[in-house]
Structure 1
């Protein structure tokens, strides 16, 4: 869901050349600590676009949601030995064009104490869909609500490693969430006197559920569309769910609420010390490029003995790679070794 560069790419290249020194971390006076400056980049040259917003949508444009959507979301949590860091960042192309962030994320807990799970969700609005930013935002939240209603059944299916049962629960939850959202969007379109089309809200969705009881080692990923889940093990990133087993990385044309064949449910088992990375294709695409510099950079940043602070995680998540200028949403999960 990357954007093509605009006709002003030459001007952006001049900006990048002039600003390249700013990527170095600048030391401030001792009383103010250290300023990180412009986010780091991989490759010889930084991307053409500047790494910060140049404009933003206006209320007068007629899309109130886009006008007030922040360029960056930052979140985190700690439950026992499990720590979460999450960031959703407007892509360089959106910053340059002054358009809103189409990605969304949700970090929350679901279920009663005896069946509690962390719910981590990311969604990537389809670039050509005019209201995909609304679709991604509302889909993560509405799906979380429906999965909360089914938390005890999910927990039981996880413990039994019943992938078929998990797939049925996920499909029902996404169907119910989608139908409710479709009704709301149809009503809004009616009041604004414009036609309603499902594809105008198109978005992908990935939901990772992690039991907070660390004796339960199974996790489950519910997926529609591109993006996905990776695992950092021994300094290298690996797809947590191999594509040949369930096709998660091959479903690039699938999107909610209309263009998908099924919700895929994938079981995985982790051990303390491994890092899970859930992301939209703004980060999973550069993570899997042939040149390993980007992957190595984030493996070094997130594979150390310490979990990064929220501000450090955001700065690291903004690491730039030329030609990858889409929105980027990433949620990482660390679990301490006993």
Structure 2
């Protein structure tokens, strides 16, 4: 627009001044009358003054905003609340010498919609780690792998073994490295899944996890020799790992679960949580501690057939244990929250995932998948 050119397209939602080569939105509040002075470039004496135009924009409501609705602290089941306070306290310092721990957030929240599939995912630091001020040792991944004709959702949870000093690094690295390796094997995995070849799926999953383990970065601790301590080793990064593959093509009804260690998959069917363990022998109290990086030859794969309306729950033992180990009130609370007609929002899902139960104070990572019926 040239200098001094008149314009009639003044928007009605705020004050805009045109002229002098400028088009500026001044952000004036609604209900303000302002004058638009358009000055000619070289008006001579005797010429009429440039027009003065008034613009009235709609008034804004000045009513007091409503007070926000606060959820408050996470709820608990049982007559007595857990011993630990339900909030994060301290956290590791960079001066402790472990950047991964110092930068690890207390909460991770993720989700998305993929056609008829909806995902909600949360990883939260457990009450005991909150009390200690130590870092969250769980990790999770929500991503897509494979080409369009063989695309799958890859959902992964990893639970660092508490006795391993760098298990938080192991869970973080191996869950992501495994996703990359599974992506490289996506076409083969998809073909085996469609063929319902569980044996082949197990071989491919073992190859992918072994590839992830081979890429695990185990830095040498230069101070170990000075302080007389042993250098870092693979067992210092010990973690469990569970990977769920869900085709995005709704015509393919099979899913595959690949697992190392405790935790795993539950399916909410008709209001009840059913355990889907590749090694399920009926003993839900099994305390095996198979862990990566050393147990990569022990990857188990299981084919699943699910129906729309069922909810898949992939989790670390921080949530699978209270759901399966004789805590019916906890199980019913989450079945009611996640088995209804509506998928919870991200914030609601996080609040529900933090439901507390006495004696269950570990880190908790949970990924749920809903499938909308046709």
Assess if the C-alpha contact under 8 Å between 1:223 and 1:248 holds in 2: no
Partner residue, 1:256: 292
Deviation string 1:289-329 (CA, Å, 9 cap, x unpaired) is 22300000000000000000000000000000000000000
2:163 is matched with 128
1:288 Cα offset (Å) = 0.8
Q: Tell me what 1:51 maps to.
A: 86
Are 1:224 and 2:260 counterparts?
yes
**8 Å Cα contact 1:224/1:251 also seen in 2:** no
Tell me the residue number matched to 1:74: 109
Structure 1 residue 199 displacement after superposition: 1.0
Q: Once the 2 structures are TM-superposed, how far is the Cα of residue 124 of structure 1 from its aligned partner?
A: 0.3
Match of 1:287 among 314, 317, 323: 323
* 2:349 counterpart of 1:313: yes
How far off its partner does 1:244 sit? 3.7
Structure 1, unaligned stretches of length 5 or more?
Answer: 1-28
The separation in 2 between residues aligned to 1:107 and 1:130, in whole angstroms, is 26
What CA deviation, in whole Å up to 9, does each residue of 1:25-48 have, x standing for no partner? xxxx96243100000100011111
Larger Rg over CA atoms:
2
Residue 170 (structure 1) aligned to one of 198, 205, 209: 205
TM-superposed CA distance for 1:273, in Å, is: 0.3
2:189 to 154, 165, 189: 154
Is the counterpart of residue 31 in structure 1 residue 66 in structure 2?
yes
Q: TM-score, normalised by structure 1?
A: 0.87
Say if 2:210 and 2:297, in contact at 8 Å, map to a contact too.
no
Give the Cα–Cα distance (whole angstroms) in 1 for the partners of residues 365 and 336 of structure 2: 19
How far 1:60 moved relative to its partner? 0.3
Q: Does 1:322 align with 2:358?
A: yes
Asked whether 1:65 is paired with 2:100, we answer: yes
Aligned mates of 1:245, 1:234 — CA distance in 2:
23
SS in 2 for 1:189: coil
Distance verdict in 2 for CA 1:169–1:260, change over 3 Å: closer
Q: Indicate the structure with greater helix content.
A: 1
Structure with greater contact order relative to length (CA < 8 Å, sep ≥ 6): 1
The count of residues paired between Structure 1 and Structure 2 equals 306
Structure 1 distance, partners of 2:204, 2:346, is 33
Secondary structure of 2:220's partner?
helix
| Whole-angstrom distance in 2 between the partners of 1:68 and 1:247 | 38
Summarize the Cα distance change of 1:258–1:66 in structure 2 as closer, same or farther, 3 Å threshold: same
**Backbone CA RMSD of aligned residues:** 1.8
Normalising by structure 2, what TM-score?
Answer: 0.79
